[in-house]
Copies of this chain bind each other. A is one copy, B any other.
Amino acid sequence: MATSSGAVASAAACSDPDTSKVDAANAQSGKNAILTIEKQGSFSVGGTVIEVPGTYESQNFDNWKPYPEGQTYHGDHASVFYQIPQNARDLSMVFLHGAGQSARTWQTTPDGRDGFQNIFLKRGFGTYLIDQPRRGQAGRSTVEAQITPVADEQMWFEVWRMGHWPKYSENVQFPQDEASLEQFFQWMTPNTGNFDANLVAGATAKVFDKSGAGILVTHSQGGLPGWMAATQTDKIAAVAAYEPGNYLFPENEVPEALPSRTGALQGIGVPMDEFKKLTGIPIVIYFGDYIPEVNEVSDDLGAENWRVRQELGRKFVETVNKYGGDATLVELPKIGVHGNTHFLFAELNNVELANLLSDWMKEKGLDKSK
């Protein structure tokens, strides 16, 4: 599992760690490789249609004021950008972002290198990047939303474990230049209707009707609807979850809530036959660095928000495997991969993170080609 982690460890020991890390990362990523794309484009899936009773009469037009009688409104769908490389592997990879994010999560890293989209395209996987219902390019929502600009970036810096503002965590893999941080903050994009895990799960499952069987890759808040989607379609062949926000459990086995400074965390109970669908596919979960072992509430928002989610992840894995499943939780520091924040797959060592995922997919027979 400890694929080439030596390279990163030694780079971190250099006198100018950031430059060395970027060079190492660039060298690893094969950034000059040409992408050969057989097909690419976008589509929508899922969603609902509001149909207002009455008859549409165009002459009712009154200076762009709404006159909805007899009109329709499509909302709550997901928007997907896909790319299929030449000689693609059998399974596609479908990517679902987390809270406040969009497909951009998986594109370019904050410091301008290949994100998982390009890395896995170059490794032969068809990629499908979701903007979940009520987010990004899938912004039409069937419910109202008030969007208010509230300065919150320092809170996220801390919650996402980049460090304690304005100080970065020691040896952090997040790039520390100002331009990268600015690009990263600009990834954030608001909900245009409240987050609804059921909607997101339903649309995510439907993406696989288009992509065919594939591997679902989730991040953070996308974790929970990801597990839910995997219970709704047989076309999800595996799930790789980066620091998922929550988990499903059999309804009679939901662990007690874990207290945390950022809110107590409790798993979601579902009927056993639903839960058992998660025992039929390989599952891997990754957590990064700076997460304390000790389960004590503190004022450290980053530690607080992920301590309990990692701990509940352990219980999830245990429960899945108890019922015959194949789930693994990888705590990166324990395999010698240090310095990763909550955006682990987009940091300086993201090629190493991709290698770990590739190795896992190979081990589980998920990377076959015709």
CB distance from A283 to the nearest CB of B (A): 28
Given A42-B108, A86-B34, A144-B146: A152 in contact with B71 (beta carbons within 8 A) = yes
Determine if A243 is an interface residue (Cβ-Cβ < 8 Å): no
Determine if A75 is an interface residue (Cβ-Cβ < 8 Å): yes
Interface size class of A (residues with CB under 8 A): 35 or more
Interface contact A151-B51, CB-CB below 8 Å:
yes
Determine if A1 is an interface residue (Cβ-Cβ < 8 Å): no
Residues on B with beta carbons closer than 8 Å to the beta carbon of A35: 35-38, 40
Mask of A139-175 contacts with B, CB within 8 angstroms, 1/0: 1111111111111111100100000110000000000
Interface contact A44-B190, CB-CB below 8 Å:
no
Residues on B with beta carbons closer than 8 Å to the beta carbon of A164: 58
Determine if A73 is an interface residue (Cβ-Cβ < 8 Å): yes
Determine if A41 is an interface residue (Cβ-Cβ < 8 Å): yes
Interface contact B137-A103, CB-CB below 8 Å:
yes
CB distance from A366 to the nearest CB of B (A): 24
A33 to B38, CA, bound (A): 7
Determine if A362 is an interface residue (Cβ-Cβ < 8 Å): no
CB distance from A115 to the nearest CB of B (A): 7
- A185, closest chain B residue (CB): B74
Interface contact A73-B149, CB-CB below 8 Å:
yes
Interface contact B112-A66, CB-CB below 8 Å:
no
Given A63-B263, A72-B185, A183-B44: A144 in contact with B149 (beta carbons within 8 A) = yes
Q: List CB contacts (< 8 Å) of A252-300 with chain B.
A: 261-263, 299-300
Interface contact A154-B72, CB-CB below 8 Å:
yes
- A51, closest chain B residue (CB): B151
Interface contact B186-A151, CB-CB below 8 Å:
no
Interface contact B36-A151, CB-CB below 8 Å:
no
Determine if A357 is an interface residue (Cβ-Cβ < 8 Å): no
CB distance from A306 to the nearest CB of B (A): 14
Interface contact B63-A190, CB-CB below 8 Å:
no
CB distance from A117 to the nearest CB of B (A): 8
Determine if A79 is an interface residue (Cβ-Cβ < 8 Å): yes
Since A56-B165, A140-B190 are in contact, a sample of 4 more A-B pairs with Cβ atoms closer than 8 Å, ordered by chain A residue number, is A43-B183, A64-B262, A147-B192, A190-B192
Residues on B with beta carbons closer than 8 Å to the beta carbon of A71: 151-155
Q: List 18 A-B contacts (CB under 8 A).
A: A34-B37, A36-B37, A41-B108, A43-B108, A43-B112, A44-B183, A50-B149, A58-B164, A58-B299, A61-B262, A64-B262, A66-B150, A66-B151, A72-B153, A74-B188, A131-B137, A140-B186, A140-B190
- A106, closest chain B residue (CB): B42
Among A56, A131, A158: residue with most chain B CB under 10 A: A56
Mask of A41-77 contacts with B, CB within 8 angstroms, 1/0: 1111001001110001011010110111011111101
CB distance from A114 to the nearest CB of B (A): 7
Determine if A102 is an interface residue (Cβ-Cβ < 8 Å): yes
Determine if A311 is an interface residue (Cβ-Cβ < 8 Å): no
A271 to B218, CA, bound (A): 52
